Amino acid sequence: MQNETHHLATLARPPEAPTRTVHLRTEGSGHGGITRLVSPGDIGELIKPFIFVDRFQLDSRHGKMPMHPHSGIATVTAILDGTFAYRESTGAHGELTTGGVEFMSAGGGVWHQGMAADGAKVLGFQLWLALPPEDENAPARSQYLAPADVPHAGPARVLLGRYGDAVSPIQPRASLTYLHVVLADGERWRYLPPSGHTVAWVGIASGVLHTGKAALSLEVAVFAEGEQAIEFVAEGRTEFVLGSAVKHPHALISGDYSVHTSAAALRQGEREIVRLHSAMRDAAAA
């Protein structure tokens, strides 16, 4: 009992310097093996360019994200455990193992599909990034990182952008950082956002994360806008993703699977999605 009391007191100790508070938090809504945490029409407006976040746990029962289109965005799939199989209308296909990262810039249009490989279980996060006008109708492109290709900065793996001296091979045009962090029980970690990064959020995969006077579990939390440091303390082994960025300055104009900066750009992307679907159907019939 004495050790337990000491441990709780350690978790409750206030940080030594002012820190960011939690502005809002949500457990999202579940469907099958997917929990929708952020959408463009709600929290995505607050944390853009991060406009969509899903936590997924796929298996033989809830094992597939069916073939579907996108335009105007980039998708980022981070595999925390298991093996994830993917296929794209660009012809790209393969598998990502634990620690792997998929970055797919849909640009002017693409179709893709993801699933648990060979009926195995897979846990991860999928993120959408709003693209700037220069990229929202550009040709689709993808990058894939094996676990060994993801650099570290302390307990953080740098999936996108840079943090400290660690630079990810994936560098979107926008100024942003996307991290995967694992903390041991009672471990403290302080995140100091790069200059200009006023947007920040976390998504919890396991454990309890104490930050900004809140105790977070399987949820997303958005921090008050600012550039101050964010203090974290883990209760139990705690795994989470963290994003920070310069706020996307453009409007979010949404279609069924697309998000663009203008209605004209959205129409262009949706026309390309229809064209690609017809080409895929013709190729399958040939």
User: So what's the pLDDT on residue 12?
Assistant: 42
User: So what's the pLDDT on residue 116?
Assistant: 87
Going from the C-alpha of 216 to that of each of 5, 128, 143, 195, 219, the distances in angstroms are: 20, 22, 31, 26, 7
* pLDDT higher than threshold 90 for residue 10: no
* pLDDT higher than threshold 60 for residue 8: no
* pLDDT higher than threshold 90 for residue 79: yes
User: So what's the pLDDT on residue 286?
Assistant: 75
Residue 4 lies in a domain: no
Residue 10 lies in a domain: no
Over range 17-44, report the average pLDDT: 90
User: So what's the pLDDT on residue 114?
Assistant: 86
User: So what's the pLDDT on residue 15?
Assistant: 42
Task: Give CA–CA dist 94/83, Å, rounded.
Answer: 10
Residue 3 lies in a domain: no
User: So what's the pLDDT on residue 68?
Assistant: 92
Question: What is the pLDDT confidence band of residue 280, given thresholds at 50, 70 and 90?
Answer: confident
Residue 168 lies in a domain: yes
Q: Which of 9-23, 83-97, 163-177, 190-204 has the lowest mean pLDDT?
A: 9-23
User: So what's the pLDDT on residue 212?
Assistant: 87
Residue 1 lies in a domain: no
Residue 5 lies in a domain: no
Residue 140 lies in a domain: yes
Residue 88, domain extent: 16-260
Query: Do residues 106 and 73 touch, judged by C-beta distance below 8 A?
Result: yes
Q: Which residue has the higher pLDDT, 265 or 62?
A: 265
User: So what's the pLDDT on residue 63?
Assistant: 62
Domain count of the fold of the chain: 1
Percent over 90 (pLDDT), the chain: 78
Question: What is the pLDDT confidence band of residue 18, given thresholds at 50, 70 and 90?
Answer: low
Give alpha helix (H) positions in the chain: 2-12, 44-47, 263-285
Going from the C-alpha of 49 to that of each of 9, 72, 161, 172, the distances in angstroms are: 37, 12, 13, 11
Q: Which residue has the higher pLDDT, 15 or 111?
A: 111
Average pLDDT of the residues of the chain: 91
User: So what's the pLDDT on residue 14?
Assistant: 42
Residue 171 is part of a domain; what is its CATH number?
2.60.120.10
Query: Do residues 234 and 184 touch, judged by C-beta distance below 8 A?
Result: yes
Question: What is the pLDDT confidence band of residue 33, given thresholds at 50, 70 and 90?
Answer: confident
Question: What is the pLDDT confidence band of residue 241, given thresholds at 50, 70 and 90?
Answer: very high
pLDDT in tens, 159-216: 999 999 999 999 999 999 999 999 999 999 999 999 999 999 999 999 999 998 899 9
Going from the C-alpha of 213 to that of each of 11, 161, 197, 223, 242, the distances in angstroms are: 11, 28, 21, 11, 17
User: So what's the pLDDT on residue 229?
Assistant: 96
Phi-psi group of 207: left, alpha or beta (phi > 0 → left; psi -120 to 50 → alpha; rest → beta): left
Over range 80-103, report the average pLDDT: 93
* pLDDT higher than threshold 50 for residue 239: yes
Q: Tell whether omega for the bond before 49 is within 30 degrees of 0, i.e. cis.
A: yes
- pTM here is 0.91
> What element of type H or E holds 37?
strand 34-38
Question: What is the pLDDT confidence band of residue 132, given thresholds at 50, 70 and 90?
Answer: very high
Query: Do residues 238 and 182 touch, judged by C-beta distance below 8 A?
Result: yes
Q: Which of 86-90, 164-168, 259-263, 268-272 has the lowest mean pLDDT?
A: 86-90
Question: What is the pLDDT confidence band of residue 236, given thresholds at 50, 70 and 90?
Answer: very high
Residue 174 lies in a domain: yes
